[in-house]
């Protein structure tokens, strides 16, 4: 299996998929092999369905099932060149849940509850720019353009560069951070080991601790900050095409999944009930 795993890893790398996706596909396929204790070459459609059904019976979520289907379809369709084996394996339907969106006050409370300097500035960067936490952690000092008030995001998701704004408040925070931390090696947020950047796990842990301190009931992750960034821009009147560019989305439909009409906008909508019998309501006749 080691040789086959190496072949699949090579194929995944050649597709230039995100590192996290490559690791997840490999992990799913290894779990499949361990379950049957046989080479994938000796397994077929029935064995795949049995394994997937077992995942469901043991409490596997729809998202987990979908990841396994994707990994197995890649293994058989690409690495083994046996697409017929997985041709009839259905894609599980995943419910689209509307994510929790933080209010501006909640964001302030969260950031104020992060006591460690590096995670605090990293989280402020994530919310202030809409960057993914992985993109924040990989930032270099040279990516910060103080004069033009821009941040250069290099090789973001999809291996594409883009620019995002550098908010004045974040710029001041970064200057203060630089004066205290004096990061070396060119990385804005260096990790503990020389030559490595801050790991997203450290940022996630700091945020989780802040959520406990503030006693927020919402489900909050670093991606929640990205959702909140997009939604708050929409509430401030920013064109959705600009939000699309800032988030680094190829399709506007993806951006629409991140932006949700917040309670602030809903509360400012005039109900037709309030204009009945008025000049404004004359158009309803």
* Catalytically annotated residues: 132, 157, 223, 226, 249, 258
**Is the Cβ–Cβ distance between 241 and 259 less than 8 Å?**
no
**Is the Cβ–Cβ distance between 143 and 152 less than 8 Å?**
yes
Residues 6+ apart with CB under 8 A from 59: none
**Is the Cβ–Cβ distance between 49 and 43 less than 8 Å?**
no
Phi, psi of 221 (to 5 degrees): -130, 175
DSSP letters, 53-72, are: HHHHHTT--HHHHHHHHHHH
Phi, psi of 165 (to 5 degrees): -70, 155
């Amino acid at each position: 299996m080691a040789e086959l795993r190496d072949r699949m890893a090579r194929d995944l790398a050649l597709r230039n998929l995100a590192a996290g996706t490559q690791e997840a596909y490999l992990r799913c396929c290894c779990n499949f092999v361990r379950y049957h204790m046989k080479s994938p070459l000796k397994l077929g459609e029935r064995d795949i369905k049995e394994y997937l059904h077992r995942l469901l019976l043991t409490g596997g979520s729809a998202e987990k099932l979908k990841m396994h289907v994707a990994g197995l379809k890649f293994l058989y369709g690409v690495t083994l060149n046996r697409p017929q084996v997985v041709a009839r394996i259905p894609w599980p339907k995943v419910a689209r849940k509307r994510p929790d969106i933080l209010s501006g006050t909640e964001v302030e409370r969260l950031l104020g509850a992060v006591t460690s300097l590096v995670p605090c500035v990293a989280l402020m960067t994530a919310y202030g720019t809409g960057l993914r936490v992985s993109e924040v952690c990989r930032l270099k000092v040279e990516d910060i353009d103080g004069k033009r008030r821009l941040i250069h995001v290099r090789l973001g998701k999809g291996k594409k560069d883009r620019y995002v704004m550098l908010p004045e408040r974040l710029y001041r925070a970064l200057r203060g951070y630089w004066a205290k931390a004096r990061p070396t090696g060119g990385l804005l947020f260096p990790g503990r080991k020389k030559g490595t950047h801050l790991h997203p796990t450290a940022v996630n842990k700091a945020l989780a601790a802040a959520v406990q301190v503030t006693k927020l009931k919402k489900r909050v992750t670093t991606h929640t900050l990205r959702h909140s960034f997009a939604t708050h821009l929409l509430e401030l009147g920013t064109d959705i095409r600009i939000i699309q560019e800032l988030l680094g989305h190829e399709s506007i439909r993806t951006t629409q999944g991140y932006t949700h009409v917040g309670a602030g906008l809903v509360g400012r909508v005039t109900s037709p009930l309030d204009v009945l019998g008025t000049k404004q309501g004359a158009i309803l006749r």
